[in-house]
């Protein structure tokens, strides 16, 4: 009888020790979500400062031609922003390429403004005392699609090709740790630290909620970040060679992820850990 009691107590302790981390993680996530809700409106979310700066940059005349980016066509017509981000990446006939928003902005700076983009690329990601034109512009333009559905076009052969390449990259293992995107993002219930990892391998709610909330203000970094930065940082953490800024590999991955997220309602800039 004594042996049975000790055994029952031991089992109970083991069950509690196994359950506690899960409960603790769930409680932490709820607190994180509560914190996000408190600072998600434009008067509390620092990401909206980037939106305001981006609007000024969009209208700023610069480059050898001394014109603004208002002459840039993001896919819906010259200067039209409402809903443009919801339909990117997409094929642009004038460049004969599928481009995400950051690639397209660089193209417009170079071809519409005749601007030397060396400094813009050097400041592609903001840091202490260093603002990023690209992060601010993306925040402004993406915000113009808030409340709209992700509807990335896939009719053009080059768009279909990019989606296929992006899917292959999602599952491609490599680097010193033999990781792929799917290592973290192709199963239910995975976590890193206290952060839940969305399953992006299947279309539906998880990729919709993920892709529809970028760009986002990262509290841990004190900066607004774009999908370019998120994917660049994923490669870095996997110990892969990091891709160049505005590379077609990042765009291909984004096309695939946007395809998975079709129909998601955009709400940006959001706020994340």
User: Does the active-site annotation cover 234?
Assistant: yes
Chain-centroid distance, C-alpha 204 = 17
Token reading at 241: 């060679």
Consecutive H or E run containing 225 = strand 223-225
Catalytic residue among 16, 181, 184, 234: 234
Q: Residues of 134-155 as b/e, b for ≥16 C-beta within 10 angstroms?
A: bbbbbbbbbbbbbebbbbbebe
Scanning the structure block, which residue is given the tokens 């909620």? 209
CA 75 → CA 71, 89, 174, 252, distances in Å? 12, 9, 34, 18
Rounded to whole angstroms, the Cα distance separating 272 from 100 reads 22
Closest CA to 231 of 163, 159, 152, 170: 170
Q: Annotated active-site positions, please?
A: 234
């Amino acid at each position: 009888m004594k042996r049975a009691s000790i055994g029952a107590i031991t089992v109970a302790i083991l069950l509690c020790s196994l359950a506690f981390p899960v409960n603790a993680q769930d409680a932490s996530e709820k607190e994180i979500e509560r914190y996000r809700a408190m600072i998600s409106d434009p008067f509390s979310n620092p990401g909206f400062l980037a939106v305001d700066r981006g609007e000024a940059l969009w209208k700023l005349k610069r480059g050898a031609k001394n014109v603004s980016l208002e002459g840039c066509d993001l896919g819906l017509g010259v200067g039209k922003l409402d809903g443009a981000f919801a339909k990117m990446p997409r094929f642009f006939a004038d460049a004969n390429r599928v481009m995400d928003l950051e690639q397209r902005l660089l193209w417009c700076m170079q071809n519409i403004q005749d601007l030397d983009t060396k400094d813009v690329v050097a400041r592609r990601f903001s840091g202490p005392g260093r603002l990023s034109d690209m992060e601010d512009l993306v925040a402004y333009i993406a915000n113009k699609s808030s409340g709209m559905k992700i509807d990335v076009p896939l009719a053009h052969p080059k768009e279909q090709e990019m989606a296929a390449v992006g899917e292959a990259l999602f599952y491609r293992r490599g680097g010193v740790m033999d990781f792929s995107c799917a290592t973290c993002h192709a199963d239910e219930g995975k976590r890193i630290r206290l952060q839940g990892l969305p399953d992006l391998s299947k279309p539906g709610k998880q990729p919709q909620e993920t892709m529809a909330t970028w760009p986002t203000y990262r509290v841990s970094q004190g900066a607004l970040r774009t999908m370019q930065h998120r994917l660049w940082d994923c490669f870095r953490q996997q110990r892969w060679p990091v891709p160049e800024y505005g590379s077609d590999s990042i765009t291909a991955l984004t096309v695939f992820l946007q395809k998975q997220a079709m129909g998601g309602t955009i709400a940006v800039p959001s706020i994340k850990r």
